Structure 1
Amino acid sequence: MSERSSPVAGLTRRAFVIGASAATLAGCVSVGPPSSPPPAAVGAKPKQVRPAMYDALPQEQFPVPAVDISKLDERFWRTEIDYDTPEKPGTLIVDTPAKYLYHVRPGGRATRYGIGVGRDGFSWAGRAIMAYRRAWPRWTPPDEMVARQPELEPYSIANGGMGPGLRNPLGARALYIHKDGRDTLYRIHGSPEERSIGTEVSSGCIRLINQDIIHLHDNVRDGSPIVVIPDPAKRHLLAV
């Protein structure tokens, strides 16, 4: 599998800126012709086997349940691919329209993750830096979000935010995006909601399944460049 990245070198402020089962053959003998499968089995769709990378993670500070892959389209499963891009290894590339995040690796390779992105009105694109990472972070919604959703007041900055855990909106890990030395308030973070991957649901942040954000957190380095490719269908993109 090979992919070519969208052109990103020309992004400016004028542009809309800113994640096989093994079968054991037992010896057996069949006498006579094979019987037909029961009616309920005829034409039944084979059940998908969850890959080991999406198993439960009981060793985590807050044990992460296994991914329900019936809710996660296989095209958004984490995979290693050939990837042609001018960006240097270590760069994170967020392809907003395709709903993929690429972690560029040496030798023309990349790790590709399925993502959920911001809904219309909260999207962003451009170039920035993944300044640092946190495991099981606290969540403090910006004052602007609290103003829109007063029910979030108990978790405001003034009240110290929400403690880490499976119900925390940032999930198991968070990567913090800065531009020109300042926090953009945008994050790449985890989520337990399989159905949100491949959709536009969050308030501008990039979300991955918890197993995928843990994998990314463990392989990316602080200070890595991040390039977010805009969705041409969006009319209101925020600059970062």
Structure 2
Amino acid sequence: MFNLDGLLTAKNGRRLGLTAGALALGLLISGSANAAQPLLFPFLPLPLPVYAAPAPVMPQATPQIEADDEATTAETPERFKRQIVGYQTREAAGTIVIDTGNTYLYYVLGGGRAIRYGIGVGRQGFTWSGTQSITRKAEWPNWTPPSEMIARQPYLPRFVAGGPHNPLGARAMYLGGTIYRIHGTNDPSTIGGRVSSGCIRMTNEDVTDLYSRAHVGTKVVVMPIERRAESASGRQG
């Protein structure tokens, strides 16, 4: 039997006595809890269980979706790009002549020259001809489809606010008391086509240029589709 009293001395009896008491208590608990596995140092605190911290979950990168450049940067054919050409006409400088058959619009400069623009015109059954004048101009105009158009296409919205997604584009010039306009488009691929309900379409860049030159009162001559411009050599000046 291990003699605890033999370890006590007069000098440090109190300290060793406390230690011996703790040792005895530890042996007693150890024996009652698990006799097969005695604790050698029962007075030391039992280690707490260690739990591994979960590995951090890293957010997965969102894949980049590339824009369809081909759909958004379609190149305008060279012949429909704005250019100064030789153009003989009896119309005065400042007149707009619309060559429906060739899908060109001319702004007469005088001296045998004109600025030629590519345009989109009315589809079959919606072409027209005659002489009008610009009665109103608007930047980024709202679009309210006329009743004639709604009757043919009842699914159309009744109002579209001006902006990049508006079918009238960046500028509009209203012709006389008709429902027709010279206007921009948010679909430049229609330039050179016969796609409208009678309005004259231009790219937003071109209609903005024409808008800066023409004014309220400007004469607009719309030629029949069977008739071509009087003289348009295509020579750049």
TM range (shorter): 0.5 to 0.7
What residue in structure 2 maps to residue 174 of structure 1?
172
Deviation at 1:125, TM superposition (A): 0.5
Q: Is 1:196 the counterpart of 2:184 in the alignment?
A: no
What letter matches 1:176 in structure 2? Y
Q: Matched residues in 2 for 1:85 and 1:232: separation?
A: 18
Summarize deviations over 1:70-117 as a string: whole Å, max 9, x none. Answer: 2x2111000011211000011100000011000001322211000000
> Which residue in 1 is equivalent to 2:105?
101
**Deviation of residue 192 (structure 1)?**
2.5
Q: Once the two structures are aligned, what percentage of the paired residues are identical?
A: 49
Among 103, 111, 131, the alignment partner of 2:115 is 111
Q: 1:134 deviation in Å?
A: 0.7
What residue number does 1:162 align with?
160
Decide whether the 8 Å contact of 2:103 with 2:193 is kept in 1. yes
1:131/1:177 contact within 8 Å kept = yes
Q: Which residue number in structure 1 is paired with residue 128 of structure 2?
A: 124
TM-score (structure 2 length as normaliser): 0.63
Structure 1 outlier segments of 4+, above 2 Å: 67-70
User: How far did 1:144 drift?
Assistant: 1.4
Aligned-residue offset at 1:147 = 1.4
Distance in 2 (CA, whole Å) between partners of 1:130 and 1:68 is: 31
Amino acid of the structure 1 residue aligned with 2:179: L
Structure 1 counterpart of 2:208 = 214
- Kindly indicate whether structure 1 or structure 2 has the higher relative contact order, using CA contacts under 8 Å at least 6 residues apart: 1
Structure with greater proportional strand content:
1
Counterpart amino acid of residue 177 in structure 1: L
Query: Would you say how many aligned residue pairs link Structure 1 and Structure 2?
Result: 156
Between structures 1 and 2, the one with greater helix share: 2
CA-atom RMSD in angstroms: 1.4
- Structure 2 counterpart of 1:68, one-letter code: T
Contiguous gaps of at least 5 residues in structure 2: 1-71, 228-237
Could you state the TM-score of these two structures normalised by the residue count of structure 1? Answer: 0.62
The structure that has the greater radius of gyration is: 2
Amino acid at match of 2:73: D
Matched residue, 1:135: 139
CA contact (8 A) 1:90 1:221 kept: no
Distance 2:94 2:181 in 1: 17
